[in-house]
Amino acid sequence: MKRQIAIPRQMSLITPEILNPFVHKIHLSFMQKIQIVFMSLFVVPIRLLMIFTCLIFAWMLAKASLAFRSKEEQDKPMKGWRNMLRPVIVLFCQGVFLMGGFWITVKGKLASCKEGPIIALAPHSSYFDSLVIVYLNLSTIVVKSSTEFIPIFGTLIEYTQPLYVQREDPNSRKNIMKEMTRRAKTMGEWPQIIIFPEGTCTNRSCLIGFKQGAFYPGVPVQPVCIRYLNSLDTYTWTWEGPGAFTCLWLSLCQFNNKLELEFLPVYNPNEEEKQDPTLYASNVRQKMAESLKIPFTDHTYDDVRLMQKAAKLNLPHTAGLIEFQKLHSKLGISFDQMNELLDQFGAISQKDKGSITLGEFAAYLHVPVSPALEEMFSLYDRNGSETIDFREYIIGLSLISQPVNNDDTLKLAFQLFDNGDKGYITQEELTGILTNAFGIDDLDVEKLFQEVDINKDDKITFDEFRKYAETKPEYAKLFMTYQELKKVLNTNGNGISKLE
């Protein structure tokens, strides 16, 4: 039988308050549907024509400004006639949004380049956030490298003299941080640097983890909060929700689109924050969350990458939503390790539910359901749902199985199987112990033996035993749990048959 025990939980690893900041649904009322039909027939075509006209003029001027620049000119702030065209290009870009019915209201005051060389915008929820960049006179932006090749828009982005980053390339991020530091410390020679520190779009229900990039230089940062004021949210463009074209069309079908910017006071870091970009980012995020009156979580773009991986494994995409940054900092697990664990989790779990049942856990370990296995399963199952999700699986491996998967435990287990201290285990010895202790049938023992016997010489050495245990640390915990339960039952005068 399973012991009823209270399992202590680390408060820092509790399930996040906002379950999924990467999902958005639009619910249209009957009258809103009528409005969309009317606007689509009579207003949107005119708006699109005017938007396209403004966009073409802005693109042509930007293209002319970028033409025939030498390598030396590209590495310096734009000057002379090229920069003199900026107000005209900005005017046409403003026309793009004005023709689309967008209108900005502003709170607070934009700091000068010397006062706040870096501007941090959040929450980032839509490509319509680019209106803020236009409002800031097409100042330098930090964007993913793929945007460079977007027709028309890529040229306008290039005009800002951007910092291109490849998200999956650590070296790219390091180089960007160095260049950002160089530009930010020129005392106003370069334009202000605009960055979305969240690094990906959310549904604005919270602020997710801020990346260190904006805070690495250790210079003052001006936080800017973005709010969309319309009751119908057609702007949010997240990983799961309306596509880019749907968001565009529905937004153009609104009578007007209201956007509010709030410029918060420039945040001047103290010495501790200058030395610790993570602390600096966290403190700025807290200030912005207080102003926005929303919570913050430790989700990051890496959660999106894990969600994409889960979808490829035919798991519910939410299986990959684990608050990567929190688990990384608390448990020390890298993204690559989590990626591998997701593959392993996908091989065990129900594809449609994205969770592991007790029966599937037993099948994965090639053991029948027993009190020892139930005890171990309950330790993994943090919320008592009788299933294990991916987040619980990672935490269970890190806090429950891995700590006991050491040489002392493995040597003790190996000696139990190795009759006569020969230095290896035969299939008969493995069958004898596993059948008596866990009730495993002969076929499952044979399959397990073949998996562990890497050299296929009909015996398991300690090195093979340890290598296999590294891939499945659950065995070490299962063995220790079995030993503990056996001691409890023996103390109470019960036989070992109670464990079978």
* CB-CB neighbours of 28 under 10 Å: 13
What whole-number distance in Å separates Cα of residue 225 and Cα of residue 284? Answer: 11
Q: Is the pLDDT of residue 217 over 50?
A: yes
DSSP 138-174: S-EEEEEGGGGGSTTHHHHHHHT--EEE-TT-HHHHH
> For every residue of 363-375, which 3-state class applies, written as one string?
HHHCCCCCHHHHH
Percent of the chain past pLDDT 70, that is, above it, reads 93
The answer to whether the CB of 313 falls within 8 A of the CB of 320 is no
Q: Which two tokens stand for residue 456?
A: 């296929």
| DSSP classification of residue 404 | G
Alpha-carbon distance values, 209 to 73, 201, 274 (Å): 36, 12, 18
| Stronger pLDDT, 49 or 406, i.e. the higher one | 49
Q: Is the pLDDT of residue 199 over 90?
A: yes
Q: 329-340: per-residue pLDDT in tens?
A: 888 999 999 999
Q: Is the pLDDT of residue 1 over 60?
A: no
- Confidence (pLDDT) at 17: 58
| Stronger pLDDT, 96 or 148, i.e. the higher one | 96
Same topology between domain 300-404 and domain 407-472: yes
- Confidence (pLDDT) at 12: 54
| Stronger pLDDT, 222 or 316, i.e. the higher one | 222
The answer to whether the CB of 116 falls within 8 A of the CB of 228 is no
The answer to whether the CB of 358 falls within 8 A of the CB of 369 is yes
Q: 430-456: per-residue pLDDT in tens?
A: 888 888 777 788 888 888 899 999 999
- Confidence (pLDDT) at 150: 94
| Strand runs labelled E in 32-73 | none
Q: How does the average pLDDT of the chain come out, rounded?
A: 90
Q: Which of 123-127, 152-156, 355-359, 365-369 has the lowest mean pLDDT?
A: 365-369
Specify the amino acid at residue 351.
K
- Residue 335 makes CB contacts below 8 A (sequence gap 6+) with 302, 305, 324, 328
CATH top-level class of 300-404: mainly alpha
| Stronger pLDDT, 18 or 459, i.e. the higher one | 459
3-state secondary structure of 348: helix
pTM: 0.84
Question: Which whole number is the average pLDDT over 277-304?
Answer: 95
Nearest to 251 by CA among 396, 84, 131: 131
Q: Is the pLDDT of residue 18 over 70?
A: no
Q: Which of 41-45, 256-260, 261-265, 383-387 has the lowest mean pLDDT?
A: 383-387
3-state secondary structure of 475: helix
pLDDT category at 409 given cuts 50, 70, 90 is confident
Q: Which two tokens stand for residue 172?
A: 């790219």
- Confidence (pLDDT) at 340: 93
Q: Which helix (H) or strand (E) holds 336?
A: helix 335-348
Q: Which helix (H) or strand (E) holds 263?
A: strand 257-263
- Confidence (pLDDT) at 496: 44
- Confidence (pLDDT) at 81: 95
3-state secondary structure of 298: coil
| Stronger pLDDT, 82 or 174, i.e. the higher one | 82
Q: Where are the domains of the chain?
A: 30-292, 300-404, 407-472
- Out of 164-173, 385-394, 477-486, give the one with best mean pLDDT: 385-394
Length of the chain (residues) = 500
Question: Which whole number is the average pLDDT over 392-414?
Answer: 87
Q: Is the pLDDT of residue 497 over 50?
A: no
Q: 130-170: per-residue pLDDT in tens?
A: 999 999 999 999 999 889 999 999 999 999 999 998 877 77
Decide the pairing of beta strands 193-195 and 163-165.
unpaired
CATH fold of 407-472: Recoverin; domain 1 (1.10.238)
Q: Is the pLDDT of residue 366 over 90?
A: no
Q: Which helix (H) or strand (E) holds 257?
A: strand 257-263
